[in-house]
Structure 1
Amino acid sequence: MAELAVAIVADDLTGAMDAAAPFARRGARTGVVIAPEHLAEVIGRDDLPEVLAINTESRHLSASEAAARVAEACGALLPLAPRVLFKKIDSTLRGNVVAECLAARRSSQRGLLISPAVPAQGRTLHDGQVFVHGAPLAATDYGRDARSVPPVEPLPTLFARQGLVIPVIPAGEMPNETDVIVDALNEADLRVLARRMLATPGRWLVVGAAGLSEALAVESCPSPSGPVPPAPPLDNVLIAVGSRCDQARRQVACLCEAVPSLPIIHAMEKSGAAQPAAARQKLVLPGSQSSPGYTSEQVAQGMARCVEGLLDTQPGQAPLLFLTGGDTAMAVLARLGVRQVELAGEWASGVAWGWLDGDRQRPIMTKAGGFGDDALLMRLGQASTTRG
């Protein structure tokens, strides 16, 4: 049976994409399976990639359901003897972090090594507590997530409540315990941690976010292991922003101010969804008033229907899909019948890109809603209109 260099188990689609993208950017053959029901088909093929991520789509499930999905995914991946088994968690601890980590720990019989810091996005870990741009997690916009409110306690408290006492190791120190939480304040801290993990393959169940996967990619592939494809053309782009977080709103506002001619389609408003724009650059939003009265699931499905309708108006001219927000990205790809994404790299930090089911005529980019600076979408929109 083929073996994997890196196996990644994530609880949502954008998380799976941004955790795997650093390896693709450095030339590793990398794939993302968008849902558990497609995993057996992918790992049964002869052309298994070096790095494989699976989206268990479990962030919004109950703790027991999420744990069961993670255990099943780990059970399928472990026979492939991954050198690194990576449990991707949200950097702001949304979802079933503890339940999923404990399930993966039981399945893998590996010790937990936890560090969800993403310093490039302002997320650090100090004394086992997540900070976002220097503020405690509970005091930030992420602490008020509408669908998945993160816990306010530090990680050691959360695990101790479930019967597992895990010490916190200061940044830069060598973990010797069976299970550890390791502080990280910058990328250098994560690089040191990655080097030490790679020196003992098979020992750790690595738990983290895009910051730690980036460090692992850099340390395991000091130079690109193969040719890295250029980013796709940006002259035909469909941007769908389903995330409701403040950062996504700021990015949309910046884009609209910089590109006032950009057509906007409101997916949850019948008049907007029924009149798809003919332009080669478009922006799809839930609604002009943030879609009051709709649940997050209804918004994601409405966005997916709208995107599918817009694609149907351009037969043979598949645009680059730019999907922001894990729920929206998953709803769109499920509606399009996609099984996996062949990753090619990153367009920008936290923006993964690749091809739907490996089809070079169907490019995609994804971004977690809270990732990126205010001008990220503006740069994409300006590049689109310049090339167009």
Structure 2
Amino acid sequence: MSLRIGCVADDFTGGTDVAAAFRRAGLRTALVFGVPDADTALPADCDAAVVALKSRSAPADEAVADSLAAQHWLWDRGAAQTFFKYCSTFDSTPAGNIGPVTDALLDAAGAPLTLACPASPPNGRTVYQGHLFVHDQLLSESPLRHHPLNPMTDSSLPRLLAAQTRHRVGLIPLATVRRGVAAVRDALLDRRRDGVRHVIADALTDEDLAVLGAAALELPVVTGAAGLAEGLGRAYPATPHPTAEPRPPAGRAAVLAGSCSARTLEQIAHFRAAGLPTHHLDVLAAAVGRDVAGEALAWYDAQDPDLPVLVFASATPDELAAVQQELGVAEAAAQVEALLGALAVRLVRRGTRRLLVAGGETSGAVTTALGIDAVLVGDEIDPGVPWTHTGDLALMLKSGNFGAPDLFVRALRPVPVKEPM
């Protein structure tokens, strides 16, 4: 069976989020890490494949090259439509990479325009009058204004995108969306006649996104967050899949957290409050040569194997600022990724079979270190946070801002071992 839709995602946890959305829509979905090559194999009978890149904060020309390579790989496997997935908070820089990548994908497909909507209502992301809201706050007034890599100080999506592309940017307002699929299609034709290439759409609910997805079904390239991906996926005719879905295996469980988002810090605090074992990684000590990873492994070996454990480099804004002041932003991030990637490999060798990773860059480091090319997407624990499966290892790759405060505890409850019949 060839793919029905292919997705290019600009980070690893974003890839997980959108893969979960396609699966909710009834599509059997694979998640591929990094730019795939000809030998990268997909699980059998997939309707959708998501290629998760580390392109969100890469130089624009590198992000474009990787995204085009992923698009061509998906085309070679039958995907007739490309979905470009970026963060539901649209975090980027004035130079890109959302605009440059979208333009490159459109040029390659020979497509005149695209529909764009980063709304994800279950996660509190909505778009109204072209402005992006995080729960009840404008993006520019939310905690994302303090994002360590891409601080978001403007909420106007047309204005943000216009700074990243030489093409015209337009808007489909909520009133048009609420009139239904035909009205949105007519609006897209009107914008095309007006020379608009990037069409932002308002959306407050999943029902709005279902309308947008159905209206965009014939577009060669569509862009947005997981909410629009689910709406698009639901517009495809259903296909039965007799293959049984995998379940997380029994065995030791661990969390590796590198995200410094407010939600991840809440999840760490909840894990601690539950009386479960935690260990903090001293990034500054690692930078001057102390064997911080070895210390963490010695601590892990001393823990009760029946309890999940948490190893984290996450820090409060003040703590993060101090580390970045000492090491620089890039070096601080590199130290965290190197530490957690190395720890992941050694934990799996020690028998960890359920591994929850918090943070997009951290997830990229972990999957790269483990040499994992592709996984099959399984059950969600929270919106946008599914288990994924490869061999006898279950991975959960969590965007820093996603999941309820008790996610770590709920996700890693001990898995009962089935007694032999």
TM-score bucket of the superposed structures, by smaller chain: 0.7 to 0.9
Q: Which moved more, 1:270-279 or 1:117-126?
A: 270-279
**Identity over aligned residues, as a percent?**
27
Distance 2:105 2:340 in 1: 32
* Match of residue 218, structure 1, among 202, 222, 234: 234
Which residue pairs with 2:371 in the alignment? 337
Give the total of aligned pairs. 373
Local SS of the residue matching 2:298: coil
Displacement of 1:149 after TM fit?
2.6
Aligned to 1:135: 137
Partner of 1:123: 125
Contact 2:260 2:315 in 1 (8 A): no
Deviations 1:279-317 (A, max 9, x none): 3311010167756245122211111122223333x2xx3
Is this contact kept in 2: 1:94–1:150, CA < 8 A?
A: yes
Structure of higher CA gyration radius: 2
Q: State how 1:137-156 maps to structure 2 within 5 Å.
A: 137-150=139-152, 152=154, 154-156=156-158
Q: Shift of residue 48 of structure 1?
A: 6.7
SS for the counterpart of 1:276 is: helix
Moved over 4 A (4+): 45-48, 221-228, 287-291
Q: Name structure 2 gaps, 5 residues minimum.
A: 178-182, 286-291
Q: Where does residue 306 of structure 1 map in the other structure?
A: 343
User: Cα offset for 1:85?
Assistant: 1.4
The answer (yes or no) to whether the contact 2:154–2:160 under 8 Å persists in 1 is: no
Q: What does 1:118-197 align with in structure 2 at a 5 Å threshold?
A: 118-150=120-152, 152=154, 154-161=156-163, 162-171=165-174, 172=177, 173-174=183-184, 175-176=188-189, 177-178=191-192, 179=197, 180-197=199-216
Structure 1 position 276, deviation (Å): 3.4
Contact map agreement 2:344 2:369 (CA 8 A) in 1: no
Structure 2 residue corresponding to 1:328, chosen from 352, 358, 362: 362
Residue number in structure 2 paired with 1:229: 245
1:167–1:245: structure 2 CA closer, same or farther, 3 Å change rule? same
* Residues 1:54 and 2:51 are matched in the alignment: yes
Question: Which secondary structure state, in structure 2, belongs to the residue aligned with residue 277 of structure 1?
Answer: helix
**AA aligned opposite 2:335:** Q
Deviation at 1:10, TM superposition (A): 0.7
Which of 337, 348, 366 lines up with 2:397 in the alignment? 366
Q: Higher mean Cα deviation, 204-213 or 260-269?
A: 260-269
Report the Cα distance in structure 1 between the residues aligned to 2:23 and 2:355, rounded to whole angstroms: 19
> 1:316-349 CA distances to partner (integer Å, 9 max, x unpaired)?
x342011111111111111111111222242321
AA paired with 1:376? L
Q: Give me the whole-angstrom Cα distance separating, in 1, the residues matched to 2:155 and 2:61.
A: 21
> Paired residue for 1:65?
62
Write out per-residue CA displacement over residues 33-72 of structure 1, whole angstroms, 9 at most, x where no aligned residue: 2111x343226x7957321111231112112221222222
SS in 1 for 2:148: coil
Counterpart position of 1:276: 299
Cα deviation, residue 103, structure 1: 1.4
Are the counterparts in 1 of residues 279 and 296 from structure 2 also a CA contact under 8 Å? no
Between the aligned partners of 1:102 and 1:151, the Cα distance in structure 2 is 24
Q: TM-score, normalised by structure 2?
A: 0.80
State the distance in 2 between where 1:257 and 1:184 align.
Answer: 37
- Aligned partner of 1:11 in structure 2 is 10
Residue 52 to residue 256, structure 1, CA distance change in 2 (3 Å): same
CA contact (8 A) 2:82 2:222 kept: yes
Matched, 1:384 2:403: no
Q: Is the 8 A contact 1:21 1:346 kept in 2?
A: yes
Q: SS at the partner of 2:216? A: helix
Amino acid at match of 1:351: V
Report the CA distance between 1:88 and its aligned residue: 0.3
Matched, 1:34 2:33: yes
> Which residue identity lines up with residue 364 of structure 2 in the other structure?
M
In 1, Cα distance between equivalents of 2:236 and 2:380: 17
CA deviation string 1:205-258 (max 9, x = no partner): 111111112223334366864455264156631111111111110111112112
1:113-132 deviations in Å (ceiling 9; x for gaps): 10110010000111222110
Is the deviation greater in 78-87 or in 333-342?
Answer: 78-87
Summarize the Cα distance change of 1:334–1:230 in structure 2 as closer, same or farther, 3 Å threshold: closer
CA distance in 2 between counterparts of 1:296 and 1:323 reads: 15
Mean Cα displacement is larger for which, 58-67 or 168-177? Answer: 168-177
Kept after mapping to 1: 8 A contact 2:84/2:224: yes
Deviation of residue 265 (structure 1)?
5.1
- Structure 1 window deviating more from structure 2 (230-239 vs 185-194): it is 230-239
The question of whether the paired residues in 1 share the 8 Å contact of 2:3 and 2:48 is answered with yes
In 2 relative to 1, CA 366–287 (structure 1 residues): closer, same or farther, beyond 3 Å?
A: closer
User: CA 1:226–1:114 in 2, change beyond 3 Å: closer, same or farther?
Assistant: farther
Instruction: Verify the 8 A CA contact 2:213 2:228 in the aligned structure 1.
Output: yes
Say if 1:80 and 1:310 are closer, same or farther in 2 by CA, change over 3 A: closer
**Is 179-188 or 338-347 further displaced after alignment?**
338-347
Amino acid at match of 2:395: I
User: Is contact 1:31-1:341 (8 Å) kept?
Assistant: yes
Give the secondary-structure state (helix, strand or coil) at the position aligned to 2:99: helix
